[in-house]
Amino acid sequence: MKRLEPIFEALRARGEAALIAYITAGDPSLERLPDILRLLQDAGVDMVEVGFPFSDPLADGPVIQAAMHRALQAGTTLPRVLETVAAVSPTLQTPLIAFTYYNPVQRYGLGRFAQEAVAAGFTACLMTDLPPDEADEWLPHTQQHSLQPIFLLTPTSTTERIRLVAERGRGFVYCVSRTGVTGARDQLPSDLPELIQRIRQHTTLPIAVGFGVSKPDHVRQIAQIADGAVVGSQLVQYLHEFADSPHWQAAISDYLRGLKAATRR
């Protein structure tokens, strides 16, 4: 089973931060998911968050909400995402992170999901609406099946919450750059370095920054202070915009390669 920490260590040794890409499974289609995953790997993405469509994605902004709606309308379900990922993961070297909400996993069965996610090829799981202090039912299943649990920290997180994420989280700490929902922004918050420094005082886990990251300049700034940058909404938007273009792979690849080049310190 792949683990995420050694990948951050290898990248650090090469003078790079990790480029972590988020996509919504089933948008533009579930059939295209294998091609998208292979494209991300070939373009230099270091880890991929695979979003499981959910009808009430409260942490996500309008771009990802729309992508999840389209995926659900097209018949994308949690079992079908697992099946599709299981079919393609043996051809991939890039670690996959299940990005989901607690409700669909609870309905599916916590233990069943953890077991099947690992069998499908997932290394880790991030549930955006599950704080570490409410994860007592979930964590034993992640330990049993060696699925690394990732938790979020935000600019409003208390020292107690930071310590709890450091204790219970694995893989990396997902640092939300700003309060609010996901979505591309023009600039990163000016107080982001201070937030990263505050988190580092309590954990040796790698820190990846997401929410509002969309440009090479954003990634370049993050690479100087953190261990990884998460790009989601802008990539999801491009996958939608270029869905019917014969040049969609070239357009997405060019965008990602530009972001990856910016991770070099």
**CA-to-CA distance for 229 and 207, rounded, in angstroms?**
9
**CA-to-CA distance for 92 and 37, rounded, in angstroms?**
8
pLDDT above 90 coverage of the chain, percent: 90
**CA-to-CA distance for 124 and 28, rounded, in angstroms?**
24
Helix, strand, coil tally for the chain in percent (to 5): 50, 15, 35
**CA-to-CA distance for 165 and 131, rounded, in angstroms?**
8
How would residue 57 be classed by pLDDT, with cut points 50, 70 and 90? Answer: confident
- Residue among 16, 27, 46, 60 flagged as catalytic: 60
CA-CA-CA-CA torsion for 49, 50, 51, 53, nearest 10 degrees? 180
- Residue among 49, 134, 191, 227 flagged as catalytic: 49
Average pLDDT for 55-59: 84
**CA-to-CA distance for 28 and 33, rounded, in angstroms?**
8
Under DSSP, is residue 208 helix (H, G, I), strand (E, B) or coil?
strand
16 included as an active-site residue:
no
The hierarchical CATH code for the domain 5-261 is 3.20.20.70
Count Cα neighbours of 14 within 13 Å in the Cβ-side half-sphere.
Answer: 12
Q: In 3D, which of 5, 44, 21 has the Cα closest to residue 210? A: 21
Average pLDDT for 105-110: 98
Query: For 53, which DSSP code?
Result: P
Distances from the Cα of 250 to the Cα of 36, 128, 255, angstroms? 12, 31, 9
49 included as an active-site residue:
yes
Q: Phi, psi (5° rounding) for residue 155?
A: -60, -20
pLDDT in tens, 72-105: 999 999 999 999 999 999 999 999 999 999 999 9
Residue spans per domain, the chain: 5-261
